[in-house]
Amino acid sequence: MKLLHYWRAMWGIIWRELWRFVTQRERFISALVRPLVWLFVFAAGFRAALGLAITPPYETYILYEVYITPGLIGMIQLFNGMQSSLSMVYDREMGSMRILMVCPLPRWFLLLSKLLAGTGVSVLQAYVFLAIAWFYDIQAPWQGYLWILPALLLSGLMLGALGLLLSSFIKQLENFAGVMNFVIFPMFFMSTALYPLWKIKESSALLYNLAQYNPFSQAVELIRFALYGQFNQHAFIYTLVAFIVFMAAAIIGYNPSKGMMVRKGGA
C-alpha cells in the first residue's frame, strides 16, 4: 500500500466524522449545553460552598468559575469520547464498520483514524466553549488559547481511546447507555474537575486516592495548567501512558483473532 492510500483513507474517515457532526446539530448543542449549565448555574452554589476564591496552579486567587472551566472542557472531551464509541457500536450494527474493517489497510490505522476524527471534533467543541466563556468574563491569557491545543489533543486522544476500548465490549446499542453512565459519572465526579485535590483530601482519603490516580483528573490538570501557560509534566506523562494503554487494548479488542470481536462473530 502506498502512502497516498493511507492518506486518502484517513481523510475519508475524518471527513465522514466531521460531516456527521455538522449534520447532527443536536449533538453539537448538547455537547455545549451540559458544561454551560454547570458553568452558569451550578458554579454559583459550589462557589458559595468552597469560598469566593481558591488557589489555582498559577498561584493567584480567582473565582471558582475560572477554576472549573478546564474541568468542563474535560467534560466535553469525555462525553465526546463516549459519543464516538456509540457511533462505533451503531456502525457495527448497521454493517458499515464491517466494510471498513475488511479493507486492506491495517486495522490499527483505521482505529487511529477514527480516533483522530473524534478528537478533532472534541477540540472544536472545546474552543467554542472557551469562546462562550470569554464573553462570560472567564478569560485566560491569550497565549493560553494556543498552549492548550496540544493538551486538548492528548487528552482527547486518551479519552477517545477509552471510548474505543469500551465499544469493543458493547454488543448492542441498547447496552451503551448503562455502560456510558457507569464510566462517565464516576470518572467525572471522582476527579479534580470540580474540586481541587487538596479540598478532596480534606473530606475523604479514599476519594483523594481515587481522584489522584484517575486518568481523567490528570487530563484535566494537563488542560488546566496549559490554559495558563504552564506545563504539568506529571499529568502529561500520566495521560500519555493512559492513551497508549487504552489504545493498545482497543486494538486488541477489535482484533477478530484475539479480542472481544471474536465473540461477536467478527467486526
Measured N-to-C along each axis, helices 107-135 and 64-94 cross at an angle, to the nearest 10 degrees, of: 150
Q: Are the C-beta atoms of 169 and 255 separated by less than 8 Å? A: no
Given this model, what pLDDT does residue 222 score? 95
- The residues, ordered by sequence, that sit 6+ positions from 202 with a Cβ below 8 Å of its Cβ are none
* pTM higher than the cut 0.75: yes
| pLDDT per residue of the chain (267 residues) written in tens, 0 to 9 | 677 777 777 777 777 777 777 777 676 777 788 888 888 777 666 655 555 444 444 444 456 677 788 999 999 999 888 877 777 776 666 656 666 666 777 888 888 888 888 898 899 999 999 998 888 878 888 888 999 999 999 999 999 999 888 888 776 666 666 777 788 888 988 998 888 887 788 888 888 899 999 999 999 999 999 998 889 999 999 999 999 999 999 888 887 665 445 444 444
DSSP letter string, 196-245: -HHHHHHH-HHHHHHHHT-HHHHHHHHHHHHHTT---HHHHHHHHHHHHH
Domain ranges in the chain? 3-264
pLDDT at res. 199: 77
Which is nearest to 46 in space by CA: 194, 154, 156? Answer: 194
